[in-house]
């Protein structure tokens, strides 16, 4: 842990692809430590033990991905080696090639890590972190929509798409938070590691932050739902999208393809990244989510509607793949859908 007699420096690495919410949100959480708790509980003044600064390749101002203007505090040459560097999310296409695009930033990140700094990445910021090579042979997570792309680009990295937060590397000094708003988890974790758990809990209470302990599974969609470039497999995808609740859908797709069962399964996996049965199950679970969000239909009836005669098996599968029971999912997301629908109706 860094010397507690001085302020700990937190550098937020920014670029035009950065989104403002993560940059300023992380900034606020670190800046609020001690300061806000003292103010609301005792009416006293206090300073945060952290010094936060925005860092970029140069100090020329720019508009970030969502249009908010940022004038970085320092450039990477003047930033020195902070105690922590946070990489907020980047608004880039999951399959976008980042090779050679951030060479100065990558070199600086390596220098900071070699000097003993913590490196944190929020959401898709893990794509940039992976370009440093520091994740090779280690563990990682990122937003569920970017996990496949990260795995394809860096096959030597173990991706954990179900985890909201992953630490790796020497001394577990590399920290990644998965989803868009889990930059909150990233900041709280780093506050706890460097300034103490009590301070992190105070920040969580001030900002009403609910730790994303359930991970990303409940929020994830079928990211490989797009039609395959393989025309034969695409035709099978189209068929099963309309008949996912049929009995023996994999057998039916195999017959539709005209291939042997072994050849079909191998070709389907190559084209989609999923086995035929895993693809069917994902379609069924996504449909079940919609049922659970939008009404009060009993779980047993939903299971049957999406193709499972055994509701107990369906519930176990749902819990394993989504991270919540069907009842828990309905409670969490059904109320949200109803509120949003009511507000939309009122606005219209």
Per domain, the residue ranges of the chain are: 8-218, 231-347
For residue 59, what pLDDT is reported? 94
236 has a pLDDT exceeding 90: yes
For residue 129, what pLDDT is reported? 95
Model confidence band, residue 69 (pLDDT cutoffs 50, 70, 90): very high
Model confidence band, residue 5 (pLDDT cutoffs 50, 70, 90): low
pTM: 0.70
What topology is assigned to 231-347 in CATH?
A: Arc Repressor Mutant, subunit A (1.10.10)
Residue 39 burial (10 A CB sphere; 0-12, 13-18, 19+): middle
Model confidence band, residue 51 (pLDDT cutoffs 50, 70, 90): very high
What is 8-218's CATH number, 1.10.150.530, 3.40.50.880, 3.40.50.150, 3.40.50.10490? Answer: 3.40.50.880
For residue 248, what pLDDT is reported? 93
* Residue with the larger pLDDT of the pair 115 and 94: 115
Contact predicate 267/233, CB 8 Å: yes
Q: What CA–CA distance (Å, rounded) separates 108 from 91?
A: 21
Contact predicate 256/235, CB 8 Å: yes
- Span 309-320, average pLDDT: 94
For residue 144, what pLDDT is reported? 85
For residue 220, what pLDDT is reported? 57
């Amino acid at each position: 842990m860094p010397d507690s007699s001085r302020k700990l420096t937190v550098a937020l690495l920014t670029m035009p692809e950065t989104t403002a919410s993560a940059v300023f949100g992380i900034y606020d959480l670190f800046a609020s430590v001690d300061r806000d708790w003292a103010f609301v509980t005792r009416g006293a003044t206090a300073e945060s033990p952290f010094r936060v600064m925005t860092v970029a390749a140069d100090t020329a101002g720019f508009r970030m991905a969502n249009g908010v203007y940022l004038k970085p505090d320092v450039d990477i040459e003047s930033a020195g080696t902070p105690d922590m560097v946070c990489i907020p999310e980047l608004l880039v296409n999951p399959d976008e090639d980042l090779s050679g695009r951030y060479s100065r930033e990558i070199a600086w990140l390596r220098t900071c890590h070699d000097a003993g700094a913590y490196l944190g990445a929020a959401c898709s910021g893990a794509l940039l972190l992976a370009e440093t090579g520091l994740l090779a042979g280690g563990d990682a997570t990122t937003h569920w929509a970017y996990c496949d792309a990260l795995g394809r680009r860096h096959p030597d990295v173990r991706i954990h798409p179900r985890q909201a937060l992953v630490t790796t590397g020497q001394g577990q000094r590399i920290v990644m938070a998965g989803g868009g708003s889990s930059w909150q988890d990233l900041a709280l974790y780093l506050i706890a590691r460097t300034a103490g758990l009590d301070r992190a809990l105070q920040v969580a209470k001030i900002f009403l932050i609910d730790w994303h302990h359930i991970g990303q599974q409940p929020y994830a969609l079928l990211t490989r739902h797009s039609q395959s470039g393989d025309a034969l497999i695409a035709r099978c995808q189209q068929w099963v999208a309309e008949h996912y609740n049929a009995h023996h859908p994999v057998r039916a797709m195999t017959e539709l393809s005209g291939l042997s069962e072994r050849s079909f399964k191998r070709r389907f996996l190559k084209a989609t990244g999923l086995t035929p049965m895993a693809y069917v199950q994902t379609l069924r679970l996504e449909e079940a989510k919609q049922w659970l969000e939008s009404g009060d239909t009993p779980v047993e009836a939903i299971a049957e509607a999406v193709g499972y005669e055994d509701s107990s098996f369906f519930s176990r599968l749902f819990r394993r793949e989504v991270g919540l029971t069907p009842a828990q999912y309905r409670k969490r997301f059904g109320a949200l859908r109803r509120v949003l629908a009511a507000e939309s109706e009122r606005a219209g």
